[in-house]
Amino acid sequence: MFEKFIVPAVVAVGTMVLGAIGIDIYQNKQIAKKVDMSVHDLKSAAANDIHEGIIRKAVEEAADSAVQDYIRDVKSEVVSQARRVLSDEARKAVREASDTIQKEVGDRVASEAALIDMAALKKSARDKAEQKILDKFDGNLEDLLSKFNDNLSNVQKIYGSIADAVTKTNAKSNGIRLSVD
């Protein structure tokens, strides 16, 4: 079954290949006519001319490559030198400005410090400290009051138990009766 398709397919592919070769030959002939140079003329060209062209091309490429390398090196050196110069200039400018900045900042701090009211600052600090102490003390007093109330409740229970025990023993003896309210 495939054999029926293989033969026509091979013939079709062969025809396409032969057609492509024919088209290529036709195009090459057209190019040769336009250039007006035949194979015979190419053979007669001096071998030295061809070699000189190759050498000239190689020299041009080598020169271009060398120029590009030189430009890259010069560019790198210029950038490095510019960085060094700018860094040195910046360092120098900072050193020169440092003294001026220190004096201005020192003067400014001194003038601002002179404006501080020491009595008000002391009173403010004392008030804040006093408030912090009172807040802490109030918290401790609340804890102490809670513990005292718990202990008082426990003492009342203990005395109540003692009173119950005493009244039971006294109830048999018809004696004095104690009670704690």
> Around 142, how many Cα atoms within 13 Å sit in the side-chain half-sphere?
6
d(CA 54, CA 60) in angstroms, rounded, equals: 10
Q: What is the DSSP letter of 41?
A: H
pLDDT tens per residue across span 46-57: 555 566 667 777
DSSP 94-150: HHHHHHHHHHHHHHHHHHHHHT--HHHHHHHHHHHHHHHHHHHHHHHHHHHHHHHHH
Rg, C-alpha atoms of the chain: 57
pLDDT tens per residue across span 12-24: 888 888 888 888 8
Helix or strand or coil: residue 180?
coil
pLDDT tens per residue across span 73-129: 888 888 888 888 888 888 887 787 787 888 888 888 888 877 777 888 788 888 888
d(CA 14, CA 20) in angstroms, rounded, equals: 10
Q: What angle do CA 72, 76, 78 make, to 5 degrees?
A: 115
